[in-house]
Each structure stands twice: as C-alpha cells, then as structure tokens.
Chains A and B, each alone.
Chain A
Amino acid sequence: MTEHHIAPRGMYYVVFLALIIGTGLTVAAAEVDLGALNNVLMLAIACAKALLVILFFMHLRWGTRLTWVVVGSGFFWLLIMFSLTMSDYMSRGWVEGTLR
C-alpha cells in the first residue's frame, strides 16, 4: 500500500505566509519603475507562488514520479505553445516581401 504523507499543520501556515508575502512584494514592485525588469520580477514571483501551491498544497512533493511527469508535460506543452507562436509573430517581416 502506498503510504500517504500527512504534512504537519505548521507547514501549511508557513506556505500560506510565503504566498501572502509574495503577493505583497508583487504589489510593491509594480509601483516602482524598473523597466522591463518589472515583468520579469512579477512573473518570477508568480511562478514561485504557483510552485509553492503545487508542491505543498497540492502535495506534488510527495507524489509519484508518474504524477511529476504528467504535471511537467502540461507546462512543457504550454511553453511549446508560447514559444512557437511568439517566434512566428516576432519574426514576421524579417525577410523582405513576406507577410507582416
């Protein structure tokens, strides 16, 4: 039988606190003009928050390897969609006479 890990209650409070602090940081950082770095920072914090939720609240940290592969594949396909689509839009018109 697969043993189910029961995380201590304190862990949930720590993760919760980290998520709230992350939200505060995002709001604070948006008020400062950092140029392109604003987007990098807010998305980095959002990714960190999402990772915390997935690993601890959604128990992926104690999940099977198969679950890891399934979750990873979802984000991998998302990246394929973003990168292939943007490589199309951003490279339009690079060759003279082609569609813009």
Chain B
Amino acid sequence: MPDGHAHAAPLDAHGHPHEPAHPKLQHHFDDMGQRAEASTLGMWVFLVTEILFFGGLFMCYLVYRWKSPSGFQEASFELNRVWGATNTAVLIISSLTMALAVRAAQTSAKRGTQVFFLGLTMFFGLVFLGIKAIEYTDKFVHHHVPGPHFHWDGQYPKPAEQFYSLYFAMTGLHAVHMIVGVGIMAVITWMAWRETFDEDYYTPVEVAGLYWHFVDIVWIFLFPLLYLIGGHFKG
C-alpha cells in the first residue's frame, strides 16, 4: 500500500478518505446521513398510516355529506368561523416556528434559539387547544353535542346530529394528536436545552417536526370541510 499521505485520513473501500465516526453513530449505520434518512423515512411510513387513519373519518364524512348535503350545510353554519379561521392561522404560525426550530438545530444555533422556537411551537399548540375548548364548551351549552340531549332548531335535525358526531370525532382525534404533539415537543425542548442538537445530529427535532406539520395538514382540510360549507347558506 502506497504511503504518500502519512498524516491523511485512512482510505475506505472506495478509496475515499475515511473520516472518524461521529460519536452518536450507531454501528449498524454507515454514516450520520444514512442514520438520519432511516429515521425520517420511518416517520413518513408512520405518517402514511396516519393519513389512512384520519382518511377513514374523512371517508365517513364524504358518505354522509353526500347523503344529506343541505343538512350538513345547515349544521356547518352553526360553527363559529372566526374561531375556526383563527385556529387555522395559529396552527400555521406554529408550523412556521417548528420549521424555524428545525433550522436552528440544523445550523447549530445556540440552545437558547432552539428552545425559543420550540417553546413558541408548544405555546401556539396550547393556544389552539384553548380555543378548541372554548368552542366545545359552546357546543355543550347549546346542546349541539350528539346524544340524548342533542337539540336542533333547524330543518334537518338528523343530518345535523350526524354532522356533529363527525365534527367531534374528527376534531377530537385531531386534538388528541395536538396534545401528544405538545408532549413530544416538551421532550424535544428538554433535549435541546441539554444541547443535544447540532448540524451533525438533529434527527429528533426533524422527525418531531414532521409529526407536527402532519397534524397541521389535517386541520388544513378539517377547517374548510367542517366550518365553511355553510358559508353562504343563509346569506
């Protein structure tokens, strides 16, 4: 073996300099890039199952709305569009702060910056849940919660009850995902505070971000389908 580079890094099988392994590289991965790719791909596979999980509810919505379009419009008209639109904006802002948190980790920003953006993301997640709680309370007060106490003054009480069953199932499952998301963010924030993330290793932030953005996407569809179909109903 020619030894012209006494001080250069040893060569690997392909003749490229072999860099010393990153301390966080587990032995079953070739390099940190492959490790990150395996994690993000795994998260995407999980998100595909989530697409179909929520997809079942969207399917249900589609069938019942197709059966009673006027009833769904009448029921949707009773939802508060201002709260719905506000919450859409709140989630989009939280997605921005999430993306900036990932970027902060990617660029080895100070832990203060990482924690700041992660904290903002959690804050807006909690604002979303708070607004959701106000809306749910309103529905209980007005007896628009499906069940023995459901009361509807409009023309289509039965489809309205079906609409509100779907409303609570879909936004409820979404809210559960939000609560889980805030929990995940709390762990990620703690890790960021302990200076876990830098340009070489930021996979947990990235993967948690994928989850957060996915939950945002679900709401992007829920908002128009639930709140806006009655927009011009009585107008």
Q: Which A residues lie at the B interface, using CB under 8 A? A: 1-4, 6-7, 9, 12-13, 15-16, 19-20, 23, 26-27, 30-33, 38-39, 42-43, 45-46, 49-50, 53-54, 56-59, 63-64, 66-67, 70-71, 73-75, 77-78, 81-82, 85-86, 89-90
Contacts and interface: CB of A to CB of B under 8 A. Distances in A.
Given A46-B220, A67-B44, 7 more contacts: A23-B88, A26-B224, A54-B213, A54-B217, A59-B206, A64-B41, A71-B47
Interface stretch (B55-63, B172-180, B184-192): B55-63
Contacts of B231: 30-31, 38
Contacts of A9: 100, 103
A12 B92 CA distance: 11
Contacts of A42: 224-225, 228
Interface residues of B, number: 52
A98 B41 CA distance: 46
Contact of B235 (A13, A33, A43, A49): A33
A3 B62 contact: no
Contacts of A56: 99
Given A27-B81, A85-B59, A58 B45 contact: no
Given A4-B36, A26-B223, A74 B31 contact: no
Interface of B: 31-34, 36-37, 40-41, 44-45, 47-48, 51-52, 55-56, 58-59, 62-63, 66, 81, 85, 88-89, 92-93, 95-96, 98-100, 103, 106-107, 206, 209-210, 213-214, 216-217, 220-221, 223-225, 228-229, 231-232, 235
Contacts, number: 136
Nearest to B54: A78
26 contacts: A1-B31, A1-B33, A3-B33, A4-B33, A4-B36, A7-B103, A16-B95, A19-B95, A26-B228, A30-B229, A38-B231, A46-B220, A46-B221, A49-B220, A53-B217, A56-B99, A58-B214, A67-B40, A67-B44, A71-B44, A77-B55, A78-B51, A81-B55, A86-B63, A86-B66, A89-B66
